[in-house]
Amino acid sequence: MNRGNRVTVITGGGRGIGAAVAHRIAHRGDAVVLGYRSDAQAAGSVAEAISAAGGRASAFACNVADEAQVEALFRDAEAELGPITGLVNAAGYAEPQARVDAMDAARLQRLFAANVTGSFLCAREAVRRMSTRHGGRGGAIVNLSSAASRLGSPGEYVDYAASKGAIDTLTIGLAKEVATEGVRVNAVRPGLIHTQFHAAGGDPDRVERLAGGVPMARGGEADEVATAVAWLLSDEASYTTGALLDVSGGR
């Protein structure tokens, strides 16, 4: 597929790993669609930087837990930039750190709606456009999971870890479902990465606090994760689907 014809939707594209992916794949020629929930300024700045460098980028507000907003994101993105050929499910968040015995239903509903339901809805819209079964020309989906899906995050984020376990299962099942329809589905599982995620969870120094338990003895950078995502989106990964790629420094 000609790189200049690629259009990739990145949810959570205004900051952190999503923004790093946007810059990386725009540099190689993808048009990028940046979905954001509330920070229009951050997403707009990413889109402006890509456009200033000669790329194509647009930002659209979208709460991925809202089905109508997800449908509008894909419809509007396709109308503006052309047929969708890629999706990066990077939107998601964690609630403040808590033990399971302190979690209530409202917290769980918020988190699973954003992290799980949102990924399913975006994957659905992407498959409807990319699958040869629906008249598409193929494409690739990369889900952002987490090393937490293996480690469980006890005493901190068991609910978040469980939501990422669901993403692992979505990745494996959907990859098999659309394997003969020109669509590859993979996941990247970051470890301790220097992003705003930890501050939002109430522990801004978490990476430094836990880095000693990482075999590489450091936290990772968003661009190191973005490199893996970009590879999985590319034709270089043409025989890779259903993979869960750890980018976690060996943790």
pTM, two decimals, is 0.95
The two structure tokens encoding residue 146 = 């987490």
Q: How far apart are CA 115 and CA 109, in angstroms?
A: 10
| Active-site annotation holds for 36 | no
In this prediction, the residues of the chain whose per-residue pLDDT falls under 50 are none
- Single out the catalytic residue among 36, 93, 157, 160: 160
What's the distance, Cα to Cα, between the start and end of the chain in Å? 35
For residue 80, the model assigns a pLDDT of 95
For residue 223, the model assigns a pLDDT of 97
For residue 152, the model assigns a pLDDT of 97
* 3-247: CATH, from 3.40.50.720, 1.20.1250.20, 3.90.850.10, 3.30.70.20: 3.40.50.720
* Domain-wise residue ranges, the chain: 3-247
